[in-house]
Chain A
Amino acid sequence: MNAQATSFTASEMMIVTAARALAGAHTVFVGVGLPNIACNLARRTVVPDLELIYEAGAYGASPARLPLSIGDPALVSGSIAVMSQADLFSFYLQGGRVEVGFLGGAQIDRYGNLNTTVISDYTTPSVRLPGSGGACEIAIHAQRLLYIMRLSKRAFVERLDFTTSPGYLSGGDARRRLNMPGGGPHRVITDKALFDFETPTREMRLASLYPGVSVEEVLAHIGWPIARAETLQVNEPPTDEELRCIREELDPLGLYRL
């Protein structure tokens, strides 16, 4: 990494870490919000050849502006292919052509299972969340999954209120026993630290910290006693170029930088 900028926000660090996690990937299924900006940053920095796939039906999108939604018209103009969603979900996603899937949600558990449906009970929810969208299929079919979520005890929970999308389920080889084609959760990118699942039980593990963040600060936001890697690295801060891309090109209004 080259010269580091003097200051950056937690969200910027999160976006940059997510973009770097795409290094070496060929295809990514892009989600709404932060994944959207991270994938577009990756194309401008670590993986210029990355093909962006949007569930709206675009393959090889080349948006001239940061798409506000995942159905933005900028995804169509200049893309390689635009197709029906039946084709996209059947042939691209279920067909195994998607390398990286990006997901986020209201709750995640230690095995990377995800809730985007309800808080509390399904029939009388205290909060009704958006639901699956394509997340359930992405979780099952993407060759590897990247999660992007802010650390908090409300989000990193011992038990999900509802399992919308499967991670490693009950851990170990539970995914494989159900013949799920995709590889499952790979990394969890948060605003304070990076997590992996490189354990025999497939439990989430603290892998590295962001600059200036302590282990205690991370543990305070997780609802179970989480494992940690033997040696904790510290992630490189954003470079000037990464910050310039985010601030000037991708998010000039600062919607994603809080």
Chain B
Amino acid sequence: MSTKLLSMRDAIARYVFDGASVAIEGFTAFICFAAGHEIIRQRKRDLTLIRMTPDVIYDQMVAAGVARKLVFSYLGNPGVGSLHCIRRAIEQGIPRPLEIEEYSHFGMIGRYVAGAARLPFYPLHSYTGSDLPKVNPHIRFVQSPYGEEKVAVVPPLNPDVTIVHAQRADIAGNTQLWGLLGVQKEAAFAARQVIVVVEEIVDEAAIRSDPNRTLIPGLIVNAVVHEPFGAHPSYVQGYYDRDNPFYLKWDEISRDGQRVSDWLDEWVYGVADRAEYARKLGAATLQRLKPGEAWSQPVNYGAYR
């Protein structure tokens, strides 16, 4: 099996180009901050950032000036409040104007599904009576070919690059993920290039021992990055908890442009890579985020010879 292992630095340098559309997905869970920070460090520009919930990672990336456009469905700091850097960009054009393209959650999900299946659109029952179609001409209504019924449609979404964080993969990129699946599978299949970032590299035999847990096959994966704690301050089910105090702290930091710059200098530009970031976080923080254990009961796939 040929290896797709790359360092984060090499993976971002190779696959994320200026002007690219990039989806770093993960619904509260599995958000690959390590990739976002490397994109900032490499000073990529004019990216179209795609995420259902831009979260703190895109707040940081927008503040750092990597983005030209944002495609999203919920613009909040989950459980906390606003994303102040993105709000500054939208409301005041700081540090640069940010074009937005906005859907609902189901609309974004449908766009990924259509993108993954290479379909021309995705039909859904939504948007009736909402002003969203008035401000986003991509949201349209069509009549069912089988009756009078009208249904909303959204266009396919095919990011240039999707970056998915997960628990484990083998070196060929066969990736297993458990917990909140979000749109990780759909966003990966929809993409032109896929980078998976994992907490652990495992043998192919480990993958094959539990094939139902494989969300993304190596077939569609271009690069595998081994990056422990790569999702912090987001979380990885069973590995570490969400750093909720940091999300609360970001609410304060992000209100002030200067404090954001200082934070980026210290925690992004000031560290070489995620390993250094994790060392800087320190053992006490990592210990605080360590969950207890809750193992699943094993299932018998059966041996058929």
A94 within 8 A of B: yes
Task: Provide the B229-251 mask, 1 if CB < 8 A to any CB of A, else 0.
Answer: 00000010100011010010000
Query: Contact: B181 with A166, CB < 8 Å?
Result: no
Query: Contact: B124 with A94, CB < 8 Å?
Result: yes
A179 within 8 A of B: yes
Instruction: Please indicate the chain B residues that have their CB under 8 angstroms from the CB of A33 in the complex.
Output: 79
A180 within 8 A of B: yes
Query: Contact: A166 with B128, CB < 8 Å?
Result: yes
Query: Contact: B128 with A127, CB < 8 Å?
Result: no
**Closest chain A residue to B129, Cβ basis:** A166
Task: Provide the B72-84 mask, 1 if CB < 8 A to any CB of A, else 0.
Answer: 1111101110100
Interface size on B, residues (CB 8 A): 55
A109 within 8 A of B: no
Q: Which residues of A contact B (CB under 8 A)?
A: 32-33, 55-58, 67-73, 75-78, 82-86, 89, 93-94, 113, 117, 122-123, 125-137, 140-141, 162-166, 169, 174-175, 178-181
Instruction: Please indicate the chain B residues that have their CB under 8 angstroms from the CB of A117 in the complex.
Output: 102, 131-132
Using known A-B contacts A86-B109, A125-B91, A128-B75, determine if residue A76 contacts B28 with beta carbons closer than 8 Å. Answer: no
Query: Contact: B78 with A69, CB < 8 Å?
Result: yes
Instruction: Please indicate the chain A residues that have their CB under 8 angstroms from the CB of B241 in the complex.
Output: 73
Query: Contact: A84 with B185, CB < 8 Å?
Result: yes
B180 within 8 A of A: yes
Distance in Å from the Cβ of B264 to the closest Cβ of chain A? Answer: 22
Which 8 pairs across A and B sit closest by C-beta, in order of nearness? A71-B28, A166-B129, A69-B79, A133-B74, A69-B78, A132-B104, A130-B76, A134-B105
Return the contact of B180 from the options A71, A93, A165, A181 (Cβ within 8 A): A71
Query: Contact: B74 with A131, CB < 8 Å?
Result: yes
B186 within 8 A of A: yes
Using known A-B contacts A85-B183, A94-B106, determine if residue A141 contacts B125 with beta carbons closer than 8 Å. Answer: yes
User: Roughly how many angstroms separate A179 CA and B186 CA in the complex, as a whole number?
Assistant: 29
B29 within 8 A of A: yes
User: Roughly how many angstroms separate A85 CA and B183 CA in the complex, as a whole number?
Assistant: 6
Using known A-B contacts A131-B73, A132-B74, A133-B73, determine if residue A76 contacts B179 with beta carbons closer than 8 Å. Answer: yes
Instruction: Please indicate the chain A residues that have their CB under 8 angstroms from the CB of B294 in the complex.
Output: 77-78
User: Roughly how many angstroms separate A93 CA and B125 CA in the complex, as a whole number?
Assistant: 10
